[in-house]
């Protein structure tokens, strides 16, 4: 205690900790180093003892097969040296890859470094390597087997990396719980650096895991997560500091960069954890996902097809929020089957935000293709073929616009459609990014109503009219699919909850409908294999986190 310091302000751990929640870019090592060094300087200006960064922040997470390039690891090592040079009068905890000196095992470790006065005092490797859903860390990293606390200013730190805290409880995925080993060394604080991807259940689940650790080991906990989107994966930040009872002392922003300082005192004021509404989280995640996809790819402008339906209207509004109205262009491509109100609704969705558009009818192009194919098709009746021709003509026009003006095509398909193949390959499935493909149609309605909570932005008629592809006279989605309220419940149980047809039927759903829907899911795996990257917001999205064979035979889809 200093001469002028009262007992009430003595720091329990005698240190001032800064949390640097940054948005990194995978592979942009120089840019990431600049963000890190800027945060270190900011921490120095506020007389911070220790500043903590997120998992693999030097290279960005997830780097995937970039880790296989020797030059990439060399660049990470050089970056670590650069960062070390700016650590005078401060300590830094930072994440990056390191080489495994043992010729046996994987070539790398996923590591955390404690740097003090330009010297790497400690290097801690990740012990638990996830290989489920979107994770594939066992592909690259060797797990740590020797666990020890590290010392900083007489404070014993249990330095852990993301998954190392998640094997708590009776149903863990791993045989080892790193904290059970570290607790034998009586740590004073747990610091966890993480790259924990977002889904709409994750914030609440994550808090439960962190709280359980703080409570069980009776130790305050500092958790630092990265923020930002990397193609399909979105990271929400939402870093936390908990006291030894698991109560929240500090919470950082969601979906934004943030910087916070915590001083752990004997009498800290805690607050309850506040779970944000699911649809609000999805909204913010999708806007960040679009923005970072463009910004980190060096892109600025988007184009999409506007049909007057709710999916395209919602995608348009989200893109405008992410990129600015001046950077989003709408193309209306009516056919002879398009209704007048659809054109009106599409125009209204653009006018509501002051956007720009063009109308390019496809009737003549469709007639030209039909005439070209007449010698082959002869007098065969109009069917799915003609519907698909219209969808592919629209994709041709959109891609022509994309090529000519450098706009990225945004795909507007939702998860319900993607699940059952209700979309045309090389037609309305085209695009550089699938914005809505991880939210079901019923969630599309919820999100649209959320956006309209204060005023009409998405046309009310687009929300309330019966959905239709308008590729033949009088067509409605319900002609070939159950009502979305039923369809989405079946899909959610099968995709997110991994329930069989028998289990779903036992919950009261019609057997014929369930078998039909699940059969469609498997039949259309080939389409999703060729689809645009999907912004992941659910616990089980199509894409990197769901791996199923295209050519397979699974008996449950034909009978119960």
Query: CA 466: distance to chain centroid?
Result: 30
What's phi and psi for 23, nearest 5 deg? Answer: -105, 105
Query: CA 335: distance to chain centroid?
Result: 36
- Angle, nearest 10°, between helix axes 484-495 and 511-523? 60
CA distance 466 to 468: 6
Active site residue: 35, 55, 417, 443, which one? 55
Q: In this structure, are residues 333 and 305 in contact, taking their beta carbons and an 8 Å threshold? A: yes
Q: Is 503 a catalytic residue?
A: no
Mapped onto helix, strand or coil, the DSSP state of residue 225 is strand
Sheet containing 302-305: give its strands across: 356-359, 328-332, 302-305, 408-411, 433-434
Q: Is 162 a catalytic residue?
A: yes
For residues 302-332, one letter each, b for 16 or more C-beta atoms within 10 angstroms of the residue's C-beta and e for the rest, the string is bbbbbbbbbbbbbbbbbbbbbbebebbbbbb
Which stretches of 231-279 are assigned E, i.e. beta strand?
233-236, 240-242, 248-251, 258-265
CB neighbour list of residue 268: distance below 8 Å, 6 or more residues apart:
243, 249
Active site residue: 162, 352, 415, 527, which one? 162
CA distance 11 to 292: 39
CA distance 143 to 106: 9
Beta strands 258-265 and 11-21, pairing class: antiparallel
CB neighbour list of residue 126: distance below 8 Å, 6 or more residues apart:
55, 109, 110, 111, 112, 137, 141, 143, 144, 161, 162, 163, 164
Q: In this structure, are residues 499 and 509 in contact, taking their beta carbons and an 8 Å threshold? A: no
Q: Is 85 a catalytic residue?
A: no
What size, in residues, is the chain?
560
CA distance 142 to 544: 22
Active site residue: 25, 35, 126, 250, which one? 126
Residue 404 CB-density burial (10 A; 0-12 exposed, 13-18 middle, 19+ buried): exposed
Positions marked active-site: 55, 126, 162
């Amino acid at each position: 205690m200093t001469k002028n310091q009262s007992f009430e302000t003595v720091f329990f751990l005698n240190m001032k900790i800064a949390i640097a929640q940054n948005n990194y870019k995978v592979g942009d090592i120089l840019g990431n180093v600049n963000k890190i060094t800027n945060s270190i300087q900011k921490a120095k200006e506020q007389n911070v003892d220790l500043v903590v960064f997120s998992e693999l922040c030097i290279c960005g997470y997830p780097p995937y097969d970039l880790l296989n390039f020797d030059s990439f690891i060399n660049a990470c090592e050089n970056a670590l040296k650069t960062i070390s040079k700016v650590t005078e009068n401060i300590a830094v905890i930072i994440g990056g890859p390191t080489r495994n000196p043992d010729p046996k095992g994987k070539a790398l470790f996923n590591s955390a470094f404690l740097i003090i006065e330009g010297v790497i005092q400690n290097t801690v490797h990740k012990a638990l390597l996830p290989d489920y859903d979107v994770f594939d860390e066992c592909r690259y990293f060797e797990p740590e087997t020797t666990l020890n606390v590290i010392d900083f200013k007489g404070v014993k730190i249990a330095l852990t990396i993301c998954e190392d805290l998640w094997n708590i409880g009776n149903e863990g995925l791993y045989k080892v719980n790193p904290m059970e080993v570290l607790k034998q060394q009586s740590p004073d604080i747990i610091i966890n650096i993480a790259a924990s991807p977002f889904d709409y259940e994750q914030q609440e689940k994550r808090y439960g895991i962190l709280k359980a650790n703080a409570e069980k080991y009776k130790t305050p906990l500092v958790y630092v997560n990265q923020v930002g989107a990397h193609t399909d994966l979105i990271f929400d930040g939402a870093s936390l500091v908990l006291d030894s009872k698991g109560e929240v002392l500090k919470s950082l922003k969601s979906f934004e960069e943030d910087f916070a300082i915590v001083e752990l005192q004997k009498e800290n004021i805690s607050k309850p954890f506040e779970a944000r509404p699911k649809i609000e989280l999805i909204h913010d995640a999708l806007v960040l996902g679009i923005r970072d996809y463009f910004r980190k790819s060096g892109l600025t402008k988007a184009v999409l097809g506007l049909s007057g339906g709710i999916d395209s209207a919602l995608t348009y509004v989200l893109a405008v929020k992410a990129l600015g109205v001046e950077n989003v262009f709408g193309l209306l491509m009516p056919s002879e089957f398009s209704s007048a109100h659809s054109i009106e609704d599409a125009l209204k969705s653009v006018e509501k935000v002051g956007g720009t558009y063009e109308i390019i009818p496809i009737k003549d192009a469709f007639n030209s293709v039909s005439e070209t194919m007449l010698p082959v098709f002869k007098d065969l009746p109009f069917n799915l073929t003609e519907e698909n021709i219209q969808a592919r003509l629209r994709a041709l026009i959109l891609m022509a616009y994309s090529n000519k003006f450098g706009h990225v095509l945004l795909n507007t398909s939702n998860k319900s459609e993607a699940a059952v193949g209700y979309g045309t390959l090389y037609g309305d499935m085209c695009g550089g990014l699938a914005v809505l493909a991880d939210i079901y149609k019923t969630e599309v309605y919820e999100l649209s109503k959320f956006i309209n909570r204060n005023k009409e932005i998405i046309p009310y008629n687009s929300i309330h009219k019966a959905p239709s592809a308008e590729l033949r006279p009088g067509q409605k989605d319900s002609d070939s699919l159950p009502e979305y309220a039923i369809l989405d419940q079946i899909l959610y149980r099968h995709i997110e909850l991994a329930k069989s047809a028998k289990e779903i039927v036992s919950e009261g759903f019609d057997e014929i409908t369930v078998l039909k829907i699940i059969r469609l899911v498997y039949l259309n795996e080939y389409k999703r294999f060729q689809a645009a990257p999907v912004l992941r917001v659910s616990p089980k999205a199509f894409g990197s986190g769901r791996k199923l064979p295209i050519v397979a035979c699974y008996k449950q889809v034909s009978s119960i």
